[in-house]
Amino acid sequence: MLLASGSMTAAVDRLEKLGLVVRKASPSDRRARVVELTVEGKRLAASCFEQHAKDLEALMSALSEKEMEQLYGSLKKLGLLAAEKLDEEQTRVRSSQERATK
């Protein structure tokens, strides 16, 4: 779910006008809206990710095998830390929501 305000709302408005996203009512919160990619939005996102992967692969070719292994290890470490922080934040938000509904 995406809580939009200000410039985020304007960005979602533009994406919606382009037919890339749709706003839907949240099933759990009537005040909130869920922003979902349309079929065209998913196609465009996939195409962008594919091009991004090709660009990264071309850039990575400048690194030695050892440098790529070091970079991979560092990125994996950062990714695991980010996932841990996200889990902590989601747990904190759920706890706060549970306390608010009691």
The pLDDT assigned to 5 comes to 60
Residue predicted with more confidence, 32 or 97: 32
User: Dihedrals φ, ψ of 47, to 5°?
Assistant: -65, -40
Its pTM surpasses 0.85: no
The percent of residues in the chain predicted with pLDDT above 90, rounded, is 70
Q: Count CA atoms closer than 13 A to 40's CA, side-chain side.
A: 8
18-51 pLDDT, tens digit each:
999 999 998 888 888 899 999 999 999 999 999 9
Per-residue model confidence as pLDDT tens digits over 1-21: 445 567 889 999 999 999 999
| pLDDT computed for residue 30 by the predictor | 85
